[in-house]
Structure 1
Amino acid sequence: MKENQAFRINGFLGILTIAVLGGLAFFMFLNTQIVIAIAFLVIAVLLASGITIVQPNQAGVVIFFGKYLGSIRESGLFLTVPLSTRRTVSLRVNNFNSKKLKVNDVEGNPIEIAAVVVYKVIDSAKAVFDVDHYEEFVEIQSETAIRHVATKYPYDTFENVELTLRGNSEEVSNELTAELQARLNVAGVQVIEARLTHLAYSTEIAQAMLQRQQASAIIAARHKIVEGAVGMAQMAIKQLENDRTIELDDERKVQMVNNLLVAIVSEKSTQPVINAGTLY
């Protein structure tokens, strides 16, 4: 199916024509020309059956005894094909919030995911005739696309070397939009945006994954601290040597580096032992 324009004329002109035919029928009836009066009346009733109103951002799909005749996209009052039925399709922007879906990411970890899909109908004929209840079709295909995209990527990676659901939300949203658009073309629906609204580990592994994230953060912080401590120790020894304040042999350099590393890397404040001399 493909949308095309239906026959229609201005509705006010159609109402005027119906009124004139009704007046002629009444006039003929008064002049005892019953057959002509009935003919005018039948024509007026037939034309009246074609009167339709289309609201802004809606389309009227005209069907004549099971045959698609076209769609009316303009808003207003119109006279179209008599004895036809009209189905109204909204052309307004709609959004669909999916339920929280429980799926496994590419690594097999159970996660909870949900998304919002913003869409609108661009082909009223496809929306009416190519699918049953296009709103339900959008919902089911949205959940299917969300599940498929979620299984292609890991929730998170602790090495930061690949695309993830949590770290690359923009790329994931773009892929979800493209896949959903491919699924909804048959329904004449345009996907404006599809974006994740909820993403979390499932409750049974949430605590374990939180501990893993904390461990990774601690390791990264320790790595940074050690790197800084080594640099500070090297700088201290180099400055002492340049100033020639103290002559340090290799053993004292090792001891100084050890003390500086312990003082900087330790989680608790160091408590130095002061040598005050001996009694004897």
Structure 2
Amino acid sequence: MKTIRETDAWRMNGFAGIFIIALLLAGTVFSVLQEQFVLGGILVVLAVTVASGITLVQPNQSIVVIFLGKYMGTIRKEGIALTIPFSIRRTISLRVRNFNSKKLKVNDINGNPIEIAAVIVYKVVDSAKAVFDVDQYEKFVDLQSETAIRTVATRYPYDTFDNDDLSLRGNAEEVASELNKEVQDRLTVAGVEVIEARLTHLAYSTEIAQAMLQRQQASAIISARKQIVDGAVGMVQDAIERIEKEGIVDLDEERRVAMINNLLVSIVSDHGTQPVINTGSLYQ
């Protein structure tokens, strides 16, 4: 496929063009008054020809000039301009736009069905590509953006409690960066620059939402208990080492095991522990 890159079209000041048209019309009137109808007709044709090249360029817009099926260039400077007469001129907006995707149902990397949506902020930076390299670049942006969202969603799990793994819910910045790159790779051919891409909706599909919520809660509990146990073991180890180092109590193996057991139970227990105080035996 032949790629067309944006170039500058021939143009001149539009007010100068209007002045030329006025002179030609004045010459036409003068020729008619002098009964020089042939000259008057020629001047009218010239005035119409020049007038057909007058175009208005608004701020943050570009005009793609096409003459006899050939791309002649682009006008970006705002204001009134005179360009190639009888040319076709297509207006392309250079303003920043938003594309809000609909909620898409896809499977994450674990096969769980999820609902996902995103907003894509973009603008046209090459008018020639937007006009000639794709058909209706607005629809092209919509379709390619949704395809990129689906692609990124399948690369990550919805959620994970392992800090070493990326997830859609837990790593919003990384996912947004990946989505931005994926969308940009697809839209470069259309002369579009992606300014930002970010998820706006993320949830489990309704048919599994309740089950996945229970699974999420169970995983959270397991992760929390693991952290508690790891911390408790470290606390008990430090306590035993300090007691033995400072000689507070002389612990034999049996008492050492009992103290470790009591400390672990009191730290790890979900509810407050009730201490039992041994005041000695009646027959001691």
The TM-score with structure 1 as length reference comes to 0.90
| 1:2 maps to which of 2, 5, 9 | 5
1:214, CA displacement in angstroms?
2.1
1:121, CA displacement in angstroms?
1.1
Structure 1 residues 161-183: Cα deviation after superposition (integer angstroms, max 9, x where no partner): 43332333333323322222222
Structure 2: 5+ residue runs without aligned partners? none
In structure 1, C-alpha distance between the alignment counterparts of 2:241 and 2:177, rounded to whole Å = 53
Letter paired with 1:267:
D
The answer for the alignment partner of 1:125 in structure 2 is 128
The answer for the alignment partner of 1:271 in structure 2 is 274
Letter paired with 1:34:
F
The answer for the alignment partner of 1:139 in structure 2 is 142
Contact 2:161 2:220 (C-alpha < 8 Å) held by counterparts: no
Structure 1 residues 124-183: Cα deviation after superposition (integer angstroms, max 9, x where no partner): 122112222211110011001111121122222333443332333333323322222222
Letter paired with 1:181:
Q
In structure 2, C-alpha distance between the alignment counterparts of 1:241 and 1:13, rounded to whole Å = 99
Change beyond 3 A, Cα 1:18–1:204: same
Q: Percent identity?
A: 67
**What is the number of equivalent residue pairs in this alignment?**
280
1:229, CA displacement in angstroms?
3.1
The answer for the alignment partner of 1:33 in structure 2 is 36
| 1:111 maps to which of 111, 114, 123 | 114
Moved more, 4-13 or 161-170: 161-170
Q: Secondary structure in 2 aligned to 1:214?
A: helix
In structure 2, C-alpha distance between the alignment counterparts of 1:86 and 1:60, rounded to whole Å = 6
| 2:16 maps to which of 13, 16, 30 | 13
In structure 1, C-alpha distance between the alignment counterparts of 2:64 and 2:270, rounded to whole Å = 73
1:58, CA displacement in angstroms?
0.8
Aligned positions of 1:46-65 closer than 5 A: 46-65=49-68
Change beyond 3 A, Cα 1:274–1:73: same
Change beyond 3 A, Cα 1:43–1:153: same
The answer for the alignment partner of 2:174 in structure 1 is 171
1:245, CA displacement in angstroms?
4.8
The answer for the alignment partner of 2:221 in structure 1 is 218
Letter paired with 1:23:
A
Q: Secondary structure in 2 aligned to 1:157?
A: coil
Change beyond 3 A, Cα 1:7–1:238: closer
In structure 2, C-alpha distance between the alignment counterparts of 1:230 and 1:152, rounded to whole Å = 37
Letter paired with 1:102:
K
Are residue 208 (structure 1) and residue 211 (structure 2) matched? yes
Change beyond 3 A, Cα 1:57–1:276: same
Structure 1 residues 188-224: Cα deviation after superposition (integer angstroms, max 9, x where no partner): 2122222222222222222222222322222232223
Moved more, 150-159 or 6-15: 150-159
1:244, CA displacement in angstroms?
4.5
The answer for the alignment partner of 2:156 in structure 1 is 153
Q: Secondary structure in 1 aligned to 2:208?
A: helix
The TM-score with structure 2 as length reference comes to 0.88
1:278, CA displacement in angstroms?
7.6
Moved more, 215-224 or 40-49: 215-224
Are residue 257 (structure 1) and residue 227 (structure 2) matched? no
Q: Secondary structure in 2 aligned to 1:270?
A: coil
Q: Secondary structure in 1 aligned to 2:197?
A: strand
Change beyond 3 A, Cα 1:182–1:12: same
Structure 1: 5+ residue runs without aligned partners? none
